[in-house]
Chain A
Amino acid sequence: MIPAASDYLRILPELVLSIFGMLVMLIEPLLPEHNNRKALGALAFVGALTAVASCFCMAAHSGTAFGGMVRVDQFSVFFHVVITLITAVVILGSFEYLNVQRIRLGEYYALILFGAVGMTLMSSAVELVLVFVALEISSISTYILAGFRRNVATSIEASLKYFLLGSFATAFFLYGVALMFGATGSTKVYEIAATLRSEHAPMLAFVAVALMIVGLGFKVAAAPFHVWTPDVYEGAPSPVVGLMSTAPKAASFAVLLRILFAAAGNIPVWFWLIWVLAALSMTLGNLGALVQTNVKRMLAYSSIAHAGYLLVAFTAAPVMGISAAMFYTASYAAMNVGAFLVISHFGNQDERYVTLDDYTGLSRRAPALAAILTIFLLSLIGIPMTGGFFAKFYVFRAALGSNLIWLTIIGVVNSAIAAYYYLRIIVVMYMRETTEEVPTMKIPFGLGLALSASLIATLYLGLLPGKVLGYAIASAQGLLK
């Protein structure tokens, strides 16, 4: 069977990203050795922007494609837009970073684009083997990206650790897919849903769902599958951390949402699994972050905690929960990418300046940068007027609406604990005086643009969250149909 032309439109963003990725790979060897590869970055940036634009074309052709393997609905469009935007911003923020770190490999940009192909595909794939393939595309790209500071031991360690544990986790996921096929005779999400609805769900299906949760739990860095996170985030290049703490997570959450709510909606066993995962992630993440002095590690633990908050939404009633989770991924992406871009800029050559001590008096040396980082941190705390506030607000409201009092209490207590360590960064930046000379560079144009984009997104979601939430609610309803 030859796929119809409209099928290709339904994976247009993936096609655009792949084409631009390949272009980058083709042009890269033609460039002279000493060239700084900014042109490739620009090309990749154009590619990412084109992909963002093509999401709208894709949105106009909702429906299934390729024999029901891909499904374009508002849900997948939402994640396509989020992921491609993250990709664009990260590419933009990487120009100067690569220069400063003396990384002259154009593959960096190609890998980001290829990774994005996998991530976007994850959000629209409704056939579990295709999900697995997309997951692998995304993972393998990020494994390599994590090791891109190849002269630095911690980066190599990050890459290796991420790779070994990551492949282990994807194996779990694949095992879950296999068992699900055994239990229901299908690998298509909506066929599985129909089978599970019509008859008594076999034990095998429970195990399958649990295994898939383990695999994806690793990808989103939920406790107790989080142990890799601090080391990997510490070693990987900062812009890449900005990417991999947001985009693959968004994609994995999308898959998790689809599997749990659309396919396994009436298998209640996963409820308590997720409940425990959420409580553990919030608590372990925040407690871990309290004692960190390395800002990258601190934000790594914070990302574990945020995965926990997000999982709280999974335990709530479907439409409220799904929309809250979607909103959370978007606003977490905005603030976290922004925070890591500031860190990447301030880290300077070899990312030397990443400890709290290096941040002392930053408000004096780089007032603008400090102010921007402060806003991202306030958003991560969940202070009103930032996206982080409404993200938490919607999640806890959804949880309260489903009478999950205890999980909400754990979450709120955790938010209070979390305020302390984010505040520490603000305190050292503004309230302590510099003791050592830490050089700061001017903010280059590309980074400035990337930071402004993240900042605007963070404030937009904090001041006018209505549109995005409305879209999320509509897509949640669409997802359940």
Chain B
Amino acid sequence: MNSSLLNPSILTIVTFLPLVGALLLLFFPRRDRDIRIFALIVTLAEFIISLHLAAHFHPAISTFQFETNRAWIATPAIFYHLGIDGISLWLVLLTTFLTPLCVLISWKSIQDRTKEFFIILLILETALIGVFVALDLFLFYFFWEATLIPMALLIGMYGHGRRVYAAVKFFLYTMVASVFMLAAIIWLYARTGTFDFVTLQSLIRAGHVPGFASASLLLFLGFFVAFAVKVPLFPLHTWLPDAHVEAPTAGSVLLAGVLLKMGTYGMLRFNLGLFPEQAHRNAPWIIALAIIGIIYGALVAMVQTSLKKLVAYSSVSHLGFVVLGIFSFTQLGLVGAVFVMLAHGVSTGALFILCGIIFDRKHTYELKEMGGLATPMPVYATFFLFIMLASVGLPLLNGFIGEFLVLTGAFQARALYGVLAATGVIWSACYLLWMYQRVFYGKVGNPANASLPDLVLQERAALWPLAVMALVMGVAPLIWIHSIDPAVRLALMPLLQYTSQVIGH
């Protein structure tokens, strides 16, 4: 392969390029326009470089690829171990894909402390990518915690009315939860002397960890709580509506698009990968919570009076599908879960951008202030319709594929799961279509709405890629599933081994 020279360091470059950009921005004079352009260039370059990963990824190879493994700290033995498989590859690309769009959408709406904004955004990008590529548990925790502060700052500095409350709530919720994960990580290290995910996995599988049997439930829960708060799984979701509603658009996009996936990614990678037995035992109640989340999120979304809160609750519902898919332990369910993660990132990211566009014009998200917007803003209405249909799960658009796969997997696992979860699809059609009707159709009730300007260049530039992506993912899902499938097969392996053992006895 001609690019083999680049392979060992390409992940490092992808991870830290935004951080380097942020450091350079520190020394920029406060000329907002230059800063925006620079941030756009950095994030676009980052996206292009990250495409290299997709281009040279071998779906056939079942181990981690683009691996780097170097000693970082001697005591405790922490390694700088990066690598991606078919799951994390796409999550990295999702991040690098969404960030330039976040820059575009913040072009006009962020006028105050612009420099800080873009520095924080770039640092956040590095941390998010780091979470997906880290294969050393300690390194993973590092990046995991590193996402916290930039996100809290984005909400708290650039958000709306109750931003401080939302930021502090977000910070405390996630920090307290991740302490449990740290405790579990340290326990594992104390017994095995390694933080390395791959090594730990094989040690656990071979039964070489003393005291593992008695502690595994607590360890499983330690990881699970941290991830469940991030997802967020019902009933730990209460920080999410606040954070979303108060966050600036770019914050919401990354929060919904990528940050929530850190939780589901963690469940898939660590809860399934390290504790297959406990995952199997605890699956029933986790699935119950996931299904409650699907239905509850949808019902609550239906009665929202604020556009953005509605989208936020729809995330709770959609992420329920992901958790359901993961804990269905079927090949289809897991592939579907990963696909929903990506599809949700694209379409909910786009929905938040659309919310932000209307907020920039009207400075409110209240549904009753809207109505008949299709007349003054036809292009906006069209984009909105398209993305909304993608989110509802219209066939040929991205939402359909993932949900269909998850539901098939759920049916395979147990018909009841499938039946209950399938109602979620109906609910989502209800609340989204009803919302669309209230916002865009009918007469222009509020005279101020009659003269709203339609989309400007940056807004179109941010929406086009998302709309195209929603379509491509719906029409040609195999591009993604091709590499997701083997990775999921590998992720399921420890679990299948365990279940076959149980049946064998």
Complex interface: chain A residues within 8 A of B153 (CB): 430
Interface string of A353-386 (1 = CB under 8 A from B): 0000000000110010000000000100001110
| Total chain B interface residues with beta-carbon distance under 8 A | 29
Can you give 15 A-B contacts (C-beta < 8 A)? A363-B113, A363-B157, A367-B116, A383-B148, A384-B142, A397-B189, A400-B190, A419-B171, A419-B175, A423-B171, A427-B156, A427-B168, A430-B153, A464-B73, A466-B75
Complex interface: chain B residues within 8 A of A416 (CB): 172, 175-176, 179
Assess whether B179 is in contact with A431, with CB atoms less than 8 Å apart: no
Contacts of A379-427 to chain B: CB distance below 8 A: 383-385, 393, 396-397, 400-401, 412, 415-416, 419-420, 423, 427
B186: CB under 8 A from chain A? yes
**Whole-angstrom distance from the CB of A359 to the nearest CB of chain B?**
14
Q: How far is the CA of A169 from the CA of B118 in the complex (A)?
A: 52
B141: CB under 8 A from chain A? yes
Extra 15 A-B pairs, beta carbons < 8 Å, given A364-B113, A384-B145: A378-B149, A383-B145, A385-B146, A393-B186, A397-B76, A400-B186, A400-B190, A416-B175, A416-B176, A419-B171, A430-B153, A432-B164, A464-B73, A466-B73, A466-B74
Partner of B116, one of A363, A412, A427: A363
**Whole-angstrom distance from the CB of A120 to the nearest CB of chain B?**
27
A58: CB under 8 A from chain B? no
In the complex, residue of chain A having the shortest beta-carbon distance to the beta carbon of B148: A383
If the complex has contacts A383-B149, A397-B190, A431-B167, are A412 and B172 also in contact, measured as CB distance less than 8 A?
no
Complex interface: chain B residues within 8 A of A423 (CB): 168, 171-172
Contacts of A460-476 to chain B: CB distance below 8 A: 464-466, 469-470, 473
Assess whether A401 is in contact with B190, with CB atoms less than 8 Å apart: yes
In the complex, residue of chain B having the shortest beta-carbon distance to the beta carbon of A473: B75
**Whole-angstrom distance from the CB of A168 to the nearest CB of chain B?**
39
B415: CB under 8 A from chain A? no
In the complex, residue of chain A having the shortest beta-carbon distance to the beta carbon of B145: A384
B163: CB under 8 A from chain A? yes
Partner of B156, one of A383, A397, A430, A465: A430
**Whole-angstrom distance from the CB of A173 to the nearest CB of chain B?**
34
If the complex has contacts A384-B146, A412-B179, are A470 and B164 also in contact, measured as CB distance less than 8 A?
no
B213: CB under 8 A from chain A? no
Complex interface: chain A residues within 8 A of B149 (CB): 378, 383
B476: CB under 8 A from chain A? no
Q: How far is the CA of A384 from the CA of B168 in the complex (A)?
A: 18
Assess whether A465 is in contact with B186, with CB atoms less than 8 Å apart: no
Complex interface: chain B residues within 8 A of A378 (CB): 149
In the complex, residue of chain A having the shortest beta-carbon distance to the beta carbon of B187: A400
Complex interface: chain B residues within 8 A of A473 (CB): 75
Assess whether B75 is in contact with A469, with CB atoms less than 8 Å apart: yes
Q: How far is the CA of A427 from the CA of B171 in the complex (A)?
A: 11
Contacts of A431-481 to chain B: CB distance below 8 A: 431-432, 464-466, 469-470, 473
Q: How far is the CA of A363 from the CA of B158 in the complex (A)?
A: 13
Q: How far is the CA of A401 from the CA of B175 in the complex (A)?
A: 24
In the complex, residue of chain A having the shortest beta-carbon distance to the beta carbon of B153: A430
Complex interface: chain B residues within 8 A of A419 (CB): 171-172, 175
Partner of B75, one of A383, A400, A431, A470: A470
Complex interface: chain A residues within 8 A of B187 (CB): 400
**Whole-angstrom distance from the CB of B237 to the nearest CB of chain A?**
20
Assess whether B113 is in contact with A470, with CB atoms less than 8 Å apart: no
Complex interface: chain B residues within 8 A of A383 (CB): 145, 148-149
